[in-house]
Amino acid sequence: MTSKKYIATPTKTNKILQKYDFAFKKSLGQNFLVDVNILDQIIYHAGINHTTGVIEIGPGIGALTEQLALQANQVVALEIDQRLIPILDDTLADYDNVRIVHEDVLKADLRKIIHHYFKEEQTIQIVANLPYYITTPILMKLLREDLPISKITVMIQKEVAERMAAKPHTKSYGSLTIAVQYYTEADIVMSVPKTVFMPQPNVESSVLQLTKREKPLVDVQNEAFFFEIVQASFAQRRKTLSNNLTTKFKGILTKERINHVLDMIKIDGSRRGETLTIEEFAILANAFYKEIFV
C-alpha cells in the first residue's frame, strides 16, 4: 500500500467528502488530518506496536484510525457523529482489527468497552485527535475513571496542552495543570502546524502525552477537598493564597485561623497559587481538611 492511497491526504480526503456529500459540523469541532507524516510521528511518540490495544476518540473519516490499524493489535474508535459511521465502514473496510463504536465518549461506559474488545492484561492506550471544544472534559473523564490505560497521546489545542504540562511560577500553571499531573506525567511531544488539517483550525495544535502514574503523585486525605482547595487558590490569580482561602472558607474559618494554619505548615499566605507545587497543595489541603473535618 502506498501513501497515495492512504486516507490522510488532501486529495483522498476530498474524494471521500464528495462521495458522501459530507459537510463539516463546527459544533462537533471537526478538523480532519491530511498528512500521513504527522500521523506517523504521533504513533511513533505513542510507542504503539502489534501487541497494543488502542482506543481512538473522534476518528472522523478514519485517517488516524487507518495508521493505527497498521501498527496496533486492535483499534476501537468511538464516533459521536452518525453521518460518519457508514463512511468509516467504507474507508476502513480493509482492516479487520478495527471496531467502530457509535457513542459519545462522555457518556460511554469505557470500562465495559475495554472489557468487551480487548484481551485481559493487554496494554491499552488512547490515541486521538480530540475535538478541541471538549478536550478537558474528555481527558478528565479518562483520568478520574481510573481505567486500565497506560498512556494517552492526543492532539489538542496548543494553549490547553501548555496548561496541562505547565510548571509552577508560569502563566500556564493552574488548577487544570494540577488535576492532570496528579494522575499523570504530562509532556508536550510535538507541535503541529494548522496546514495539516482540513478545514484549518484557528488555533495552533500540540500533541500531549499523559503517562499514567501507578498511584497519584501525592497522598491526600480527601481527593474532592484537595481539588476544591486547588481551585480556590487559583480563583483570583492576582490575589494571595490567604485572601483566596478567606473567600473560600467565609463563614467557616476566620482569616486569623486560616493564617494560623498556614503558619503551622510553613506556607507563606502572601504567596500566590501559581507558586505552589502539587506537593505543597497536598500539605495545604490535608491541613485544612484536618482543621475543618477531623
Residue 56 is predicted with a pLDDT of: 98
- The annotation status of 145 as a binding-site residue, yes or no, is no
Q: What is the mean pLDDT of residues 176-199?
A: 97
**pLDDT at position 141 over 60:** yes
* pLDDT 10s digits, 255-275: 999 999 999 999 999 999 999
CA dist 187 and 202 (Å) reads 23
In the block, residue with C-alpha cell 474524494: 15
* pLDDT 10s digits, 209-252: 999 999 999 999 999 999 999 999 999 999 999 999 999 999 99
Residues forming beta bridges with residue 186, ordered by sequence position: 210
Bond from prior residue into 199 cis (ω within 30 degrees of 0): yes
Pairing of strands 74-78, 124-129: unpaired
* pLDDT 10s digits, 96-125: 999 999 999 999 999 999 999 999 999 999
- The annotation status of 33 as a binding-site residue, yes or no, is yes
pLDDT band per the 50, 70, 90 thresholds, residue 279: very high
**pLDDT at position 3 over 90:** no
Spell 175-193 as b/e; 16+ CB within 10 A means b.
bbbbbbbbbbebebbbebe
pLDDT band per the 50, 70, 90 thresholds, residue 2: very low
- The annotation status of 31 as a binding-site residue, yes or no, is yes
Residue 5 is predicted with a pLDDT of: 82
Which of the two residues, 3 and 249, has the higher pLDDT score? Answer: 249
Residue 4 is predicted with a pLDDT of: 46
Residue 30 is predicted with a pLDDT of: 85
* pLDDT 10s digits, 170-179: 999 999 999 9
pLDDT band per the 50, 70, 90 thresholds, residue 19: very high
- The annotation status of 78 as a binding-site residue, yes or no, is no
- The annotation status of 129 as a binding-site residue, yes or no, is yes
Delineate the domains of the chain, giving CATH numbers in brackets: 3-212 (3.40.50.150), 223-293 (1.10.8.100)
- The annotation status of 58 as a binding-site residue, yes or no, is yes
The percentage of residues in the chain with a pLDDT greater than 70, rounded to a whole number, is: 99
